[in-house]
């Protein structure tokens, strides 16, 4: 049976199956920084107790320049003070310490 335009081939279906998990993974990683409403109650409480703000009012003091931020060249990354919780690079809290 000839394969015409608009028909799905086994190869095209396999390609789609390979792409879907990558798209979902990217979405899952983007969620903690993109939507604070998705944080757990413990994460919200910790951020509140540390006076976390996003974006930071002082452009020189933000998570990306903090010693506790372990993300590398990304918009979001783990904060060691928040037990590895993900924070946006442009946020800041009262415990900001200059990266050495
Ligand atoms: S300690 Fe505060 S300023 Fe530093 S990375 Fe964590 S949340 Fe950001």
pLDDT at 83: 85
pLDDT at 34: 64
Domains and CATH numbers, the chain: 10-88 (4.10.490)
Mean pLDDT along residues 3-29: 48
- Which are the contacts of 57, defined by CB distance < 8 A and separation ≥ 6? 92
Q: pTM for the whole thing? A: 0.68
* Residue minimizing CA distance to atom 6 of ligand 1: 79
Lining ligand 1 with CB less than 6 A are: 50, 52, 63, 66, 68-69, 79, 81-82, 87, 91-93, 95-96
pLDDT at 16: 46
47 vs 29: CA distance, rounded Å: 19
Per-residue pLDDT band for 74 (boundaries 50, 70, 90) equals confident
Mean pLDDT along residues 2-16: 52
């Amino acid at each position: 049976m000839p394969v015409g335009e608009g028909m799905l081939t086994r190869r095209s279906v396999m390609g789609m199956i390979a792409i879907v998990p990558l798209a979902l993974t990217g979405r899952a990683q983007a969620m903690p920084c993109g939507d604070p409403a998705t944080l757990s109650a413990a994460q919200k409480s910790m951020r509140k107790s540390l006076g976390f703000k996003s974006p930071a009012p002082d452009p020189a003091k933000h998570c990306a320049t903090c010693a506790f931020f372990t993300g590398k060249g990304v918009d979001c990354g783990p904060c060691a003070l928040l037990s590895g919780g993900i924070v946006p690079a442009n946020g800041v809290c009262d415990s900001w310490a200059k990266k050495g």
